[in-house]
Amino acid sequence: MSHPSHQPHSGDHPKAASAFIADQERAQWHDKALWFIREKRDRAAASLPEWETLREHAAAIKAHTIANLPQYLEQFEANAQRMGVKVHWASNAVEHNKIVLGILQQHNVKKVVKSKSMLTEECHLNPYLEQNGIEVIDTDLGERIVQMREEPPSHIVLPAIHLKKQDVGDTFHKHLGTNAGADDPQYLTEAARGHLREKFMAGHAGITGVNFAVAESGGIVVCTNEGNADLGVALPPVHIACMGIEKLIPRAADLGVFVRLLARSATGQPITTYTSHFHGPRPGCELHIVLVDNGRSEVRESDDFRLSLNCIRCGACMNTCPVYRRSGGHSYGSTVPGPIGSILAPALDPEKHKSLPFACSLCGSCTDVCPVKIDLHHQLLTFRRELALKNLIPLTKRISMKLLSFVLMRPWMFSLGGKLMRMIVPKLPRMFIYNGMNAWGKQRELPPMPPQSFRELYSIRKHVAAHNRPNTLKGNTQ
Amino acid sequence: MKVGLFIPCYVDQLYPDVAMATVEVLERFGIEVEFPTAQTCCGQPMANSGCTGDTRPLAEAFLRIFGAYDYVVCPSGSCVSMVRNHYEEYFHENPAFETLKKRTFELCEFLVDVLQVKNIAGSFPHNVGLHQSCHGLRELHLGPPTELMNRGTPNKVKQLLEGLDGIKFMPLTRPDECCGFGGTFAVAEEAVSCMMGQDRLDDHEKAGTQVLTAADMSCLMHLEGLLRRRGKKVAVMHVAQILAGRAPDFGVPATGGAR
């Protein structure tokens, strides 16, 4: 099964967003579904009096780890190897995919079960393995649904959040033979369970992501709600865990900070249903860990964007983002959508994802929900500068901003321009103002055009005051 | 105490009464207010488009124009945040700028933090929907945003309005969601921007808002544009206008021109 949409459409967020919004009812529903999760997150966070302290701690641990990443990576590798883990290093996505394929071919694996891993999405592992004759089954329910539909996930925690139960019913009817029109969630989930059980039994190897890797122990932690990672690696003899190098934390004691933040931020749960710790392979089996850079070292060098490496992929920034909620994950055309995706994607390919840093009203809500204190909206703003420096913002915008700056540096020109606008606009026929050229006026009226500007009124007021001053002074002396 | 009045470019040209109301409120507390006419704009439209090269001369002009005042006060959280949080790259460790930065205030925070105003006398017997403009809320901390759990910060905007007789705040289901203005975002992402704005207005309509207010006129310009297109009779007023004792105009247009 191939994923044509794993090669996302060229990034034009406004266009894709406006197509999503054209279905008003669905857009409203999508917004409300995610806002519900944001509110759940608020209640879960409020249940911990130490919430803000936890965020501070998490950010400090991440800052320390990223600063000392090379030594922690080496420590992790040594400790993992001591437990019998085979550790692999990949500098980019291509290397990562080759390593995984190599391990699978070595064991003559034809069928793989995979639990959720944003890293393998980032590397586009599935299509690569499929091209090489290996069947990959995503075992997370949401991921399996979008996989059947040959769509990429639209959210990193809730991959099928863009789909209604009726959509899932239709998909399952087509692929699993469930009754036509059936959309009862329990019925559908049971059908998926039966289907996935067969796949689990048939899998020759299991691939998982990694939520946290502990340097001092060499252990890895995988968090799921469905237990699919556990089943997927408990049955077959080979477990391949793929992780970005930023997933490291120094000590097992630090896990408490992150585990408490992760599920609360992601879904408003106190903890994920399964928080599984892997310390070396099971007897007679193999555990491979693939450590992937894929641009992270470069981000680590950047003072402006280093904090983005703090990300624990909780998705809270998506749930709170007013733009994401109303445009859907697919409108971003990137592996990770939403605020954090709008930083990660253009960092890898600025040309392709140049519209993403502008898909943001700079409201700052993402920055305040982020459990690891990434200054998301500031980074999005900074990224706009990077794009401008690379000549990747539209020429019309570049020219109009230059012109605007020129006018604003000349107060007389600014005042004259304002005066002309206020004089002319009210006299123009409506069709001259409200037409296809005026994006503001498509759904909104222009502001009213007052006869005088403040600076004009202010100067009149000052004159009047100066004129009245002798009287005022007399009044004061009495 | 001499205050330099810092007026957003679009307020100067399109909402002169908001600026005049700001003058009146400040003068009521015995403040000597001066509007330096060399000012135009803080440069935020250029900065938010990524064109920092076109922002720099405006930032430098801002320092020249306002550097000598005891305080600089502006009826916009967004423009103050531009100066306070985003001018750094133009004035690396420049002591004159560091001083100016500390003296630049949004109107409500100036009243509450500097003048220590507890209460403004007046009456405003209306059902008010308070829109929490994002930059004031999350970048200047004019109030506690719903995302943060240390809810200690008082809401300075609400606190000032609360002193008015008869004022009633309408409860919103999403008390501090963005209206979708976002500067050039309003045009570049027109569909999302308008849906965000409409959702805010629906929330206010359900709550029974008769007067929609905020500490930033830009949010209100966007929301008012949507309201007027739909012919809704909601009065739209900047907080400064309410504090200065203006009466709401339930006709259309609600704000804008001289009184």
Q: CA-CA distance, A81 to A286, in Å (whole number)?
A: 12
Nearest chain B CA: its distance from A448 CA (Å)? 6
Which residues does B164 contact at the CB level (< 8 Å), separation at least 6?
Answer: B120, B122, B123, B124, B242, B243
**DSSP assignment of A329-356, as one string?**
GGGG-SSS-HHHHHHHHHHH-TTTTTTG
Residues of chain B contacting A418 with CB distance shorter than 8 Å: 12-13
R_g over Cα of chain B:
18
Per-residue DSSP letter, B175: T
**Tens digit of each residue's pLDDT (9 = 90 or more) over B218-240:** 999 999 999 999 999 999 999 99
pLDDT mean values, one per 10 residues, chain A (478 residues): 42 93 98 98 97 98 98 98 98 98 98 96 96 97 97 96 97 97 96 96 96 98 95 95 98 97 98 96 97 96 95 98 98 96 93 97 98 98 96 93 96 97 96 94 96 97 84 41
**Cβ distance of A398 and B138 shorter than 8 Å:** no
Q: Which residue of B has its CA nearest to A437?
A: B187
Please report how many Cα atoms fall inside a 13 Å half-sphere around the Cα of residue A178, on the Cβ side.
Answer: 25
> Is residue A117 one of the residues assigned to a domain?
yes
- Please indicate whether, in this complex, the C-beta atoms of A14 and B253 are within 8 angstroms of each other: no
Percent of chain B with pLDDT over 90: 93
- What pLDDT band is residue B151 in, cutting at 50, 70 and 90? confident
3-state secondary structure (DSSP) of residue A65? helix
The kind and range of the H/E element at A277 are strand A274-278
CA separation for the pair B251, B233 (Å, rounded): 6
Q: Any chain A CB within 8 A of the CB of B65?
A: no
Q: Please check whether residue A234 touches B, CB under 8 A.
A: no
Instruction: With respect to residue A317, please indicate whether it lies within any of the assigned structural domains.
Output: no
- Whether chain B has a CB inside 8 Å of the CB on A323: the answer is yes
Boundary (domain end) residue, out of A238, A269, A301: A301
- Looking at residue A474, what is its pLDDT? 42
Question: Hey, are the CB atoms on B187 and A440 less than 8 Å from each other?
Answer: yes
Contact B13 A358 (CB under 8 A): no
Query: What pLDDT sits at residue A467?
Result: 86
| Helices and strands in chain B: count of H runs, count of E runs | 13, 8
Q: Taking residues B101-116, what's their average pLDDT?
A: 98
Residue A254 lies in a domain: yes
CATH architecture of B127-243: 3-Layer(aba) Sandwich (3.40)
A376 to chain B, minimum CA–CA distance in Å?
13
Q: Is A401 close to B45, i.e. CB distance below 8 A?
A: yes
Could you write out the DSSP letters of every residue in B8-76? -HHHHHH-HHHHHHHHHHHHHTT-EEE--TT----SHHHHHTT-HHHHHHHHHHHHHHHTTSSEEEES-
Which residue in B7, B86, B191 is closest to A18 by CB distance?
A: B191
Helix axes A24-46, A252-266, angle to 10 degrees: 140
Helix, strand, or coil (residue A138): strand
Is A90 strand, coil or helix?
strand
CB pairs < 8 Å spanning A and B? 227
Pairwise CB contact (< 8 Å): B51 & A388: yes
Contact B149 A393 (CB under 8 A): no
Q: Work out how many domains chain A is built from and give that number.
A: 2
φ, ψ dihedrals at A173, nearest 5°:
-60, -45
* B206 contacts: CB under 8 Å, gap ≥ 6: B173
- Residues in A closer than 8 angstroms to B86, CB to CB, are 381
Q: Would you say residue B119 has pLDDT above 90?
A: no
Same domain, A149 and A285: yes
Residue A113's domain is classified under what CATH number? Answer: 3.40.50.10420
Closest CA to A218 of A136, A278, A296: A278
Tell me the residue range of the domain where A434 lies: 395-477
- With beta carbons under 8 A apart, name residues in chain B contacting A390: none
- Assessment of whether the complete model's pTM goes beyond 0.80: yes
Question: A411 CB near a chain B CB, below 8 Å?
Answer: yes
Cβ pair B135:A411 closer than 8 A: no
pLDDT of residue A476: 40
A263 to each of A158, A278, A366, how far by Cα in Å?
A: 13, 19, 16
**Residues B244-252, mean pLDDT to the nearest whole number:** 88
Q: Does residue A443 belong to the interface with chain B, where contact is any CB pair within 8 Å?
A: yes
> Is A340 among the domain residues?
no
Select from B40, B185, B198 the Cβ nearest to the Cβ of A411: B40
Scan residues 180-199 of B and list those with Cβ closer than 8 Å to A.
180-199
Whether the CB of B163 is below 8 Å from some CB of chain A: the reply is: no
Instruction: Specify the residue for token string 């009213």.
Output: A448
Instruction: Please report whether residue A347 resides in a domain.
Output: no
| C-beta of residue B49 within 8 angstroms of C-beta of residue A384 | yes
Contacts of B172 in chain A (CB under 8 A): none
pLDDT bucket at B252, cuts 50 / 70 / 90? low
Q: Which residues of A440-453 are buried (b: 16+ CB within 10 A; e: fewer)?
A: bbebbbbbbbbebb
Q: Do A405 and B184 touch (CB under 8 A)?
A: no
At A11 the pLDDT is: 63
Q: Which of A161, A118, A167, A166 is nearest to A142 (CA)?
A: A161
Are B138 and A452 in contact (CB < 8 Å)? no
> Is A251 part of any domain?
yes
Cα separation, B33 vs B56, in Å, equals 27
pLDDT, position B254: 39
Q: Tell me which of A301, A318, A336 is where a domain ends.
A: A301
**Pairwise CB contact (< 8 Å): A442 & B194:** yes
Shortest Cα–Cα distance, A378 to chain B (Å):
9
Q: In this prediction, what percent of chain B has a pLDDT beyond 70?
A: 97
Q: Shortest CA distance to A376 belongs to which of A325, A333, A339?
A: A339
A416 at B interface, C-beta within 8 A: no
Regarding beta strands B71-74 and A238-244, do their DSSP bridges make them parallel or antiparallel, or are they unpaired? unpaired
pLDDT band for position B251 (cuts 50, 70, 90): confident
Strand locations in chain B (E): 2-5, 32-34, 71-74, 104-106, 127-131, 168-169, 211-214, 235-238
Mean pLDDT of the B142-150 span:
96
Please answer yes or no on whether A388 and B50 come within 8 Å at the CB atom: yes
How many Å is the maximal CA-CA distance in chain A?
A: 104
Q: Which two tokens stand for residue A168?
A: 């899932």
Distance CA B168, CA B166 (A): 6
Q: Place B92 in a pLDDT band, splitting at 50, 70 and 90.
A: confident
